[in-house]
Structure 1
């Protein structure tokens, strides 16, 4: 696994790798790209590359934080501009359960919902736009956006960094074959967890749609 990361970094200049990571993190909320590709995947990989001295860790952290805060700010402006019409878009209608959860979180926690939403992939993509449509003042949004962005970037980037260092250490102690086996097992565990999480979210969305259909039938046939 690390060999693939190193091959990627060796084939591209560091500035381009940083640009790709920044673009993925920025697009997560600004372009709702988080529905397809969670931004933490990019910064975890960046952390691993930094552990292999392919990227500068301080530069990576700064770039990732700026991209996260800027992307969420664009998402906020989209929500503020389009307001309730945003809920009629295809991206929002496909994730009704998450939209409902995010809206409930905003009602209960206000600006703090921005920080909480930062640590859940779909909420991270939805929350800035929904907060913007709720007309929460931008200075409040920016404060919690910055705090959440810094915490999120530090957590996942350093997680990737220390995982990369642990891999090299395990390879030296137990042999590279065993270390690669452990890495593969970790990847399999992550894939299984991701599939189960996706199925659970799909089930939640199906339940919400069923409730909405039932409610519509009750209004149509009282």
Structure 2
């Protein structure tokens, strides 16, 4: 199974993957792939497409009584992954950001997305790190852009911790408290896709607005 296929399948069925990891790795080592997926999504600008939101929700479901995971262990592991991931991303950008951007190897780091993040930083400042936690793609790029010169490390760390704890807690606890409801169990895949759709919606709307504004500007000329 190729890495792209693996992540697509994980996005479609996080519950199946977590169940398999619990059986194969046991109640302790199962947290290793969970940590790595969230860390890589937030920590490496090359992997903005990983299914963070749906994975957190599914892990919350398994953290309920009898699910195989412990709610406090789940929260702590994901808090650490989210905070350390963003910190890693920040320092990669601080040290190598200009070279990575100039190389053009990160195709998803488009001028449009960078301009959008620049706008976020100008408008919201450090809150951008919190806001973008809830926006796939942008949550991977925001700490990278912060590291290229938008924010000092102390200020970044404060917003990084607040954003990471809030993001993880929200999705994990929603899964923990509501995942056992029969209708959620019966329509789990649909709900996961809905979570992904809602998460992606702000970015999608932003792209449409940018395209419409660009067209209006062009027609105005």
Same fold, TM-score > 0.5, yes or no: yes
After superposition, the Cα gap between the structure-2 partners of 1:34 and 1:158, relative to the gap in structure 1 and judged at 3 Å, is: farther
Aligned CA-pair RMSD: 3.3
Specify which structure has the higher proportion of helix.
1
Q: Deviation of residue 8 (structure 1)? A: 4.5
User: Which of 137, 150, 174 matches 1:122?
Assistant: 137
Q: TM-score, normalised by structure 2?
A: 0.75
Equivalenced residue count is 200
Return 80-89 or 24-33, whichever deviates more.
80-89
Superimposed CA distance per residue, residues 83-119 of structure 1 (whole angstroms, 9 cap, x where no aligned partner): 4334333225553322221111112222121111111
Confirm whether residue 95 of structure 1 aligns to residue 110 of structure 2: yes
Superimposed CA distance per residue, residues 3-28 of structure 1 (whole angstroms, 9 cap, x where no aligned partner): 77545423331222211111011111
Confirm whether residue 70 of structure 1 aligns to residue 84 of structure 2: yes
Q: For the Cα contact (< 8 Å) 1:96–1:205, is it kept in 2?
A: no
Confirm whether residue 18 of structure 1 aligns to residue 31 of structure 2: yes
User: Can you give the 5+ residue segments of structure 1 that lack an aligned partner in the other structure?
Assistant: 168-178, 215-222
Superimposed CA distance per residue, residues 138-195 of structure 1 (whole angstroms, 9 cap, x where no aligned partner): 010000000011111110111111232223xxxxxxxxxxx47841573486289379
Q: For the Cα contact (< 8 Å) 1:61–1:154, is it kept in 2?
A: yes
Q: For the Cα contact (< 8 Å) 1:87–1:93, is it kept in 2?
A: no
User: Which of 168, 175, 184 matches 1:153?
Assistant: 168
The 2-side partners of 1:9 and 1:187 are apart by 22
Q: TM-score, normalised by structure 1?
A: 0.75
Q: Deviation of residue 132 (structure 1)? A: 0.5
User: Which of 192, 197, 201 matches 1:193?
Assistant: 197
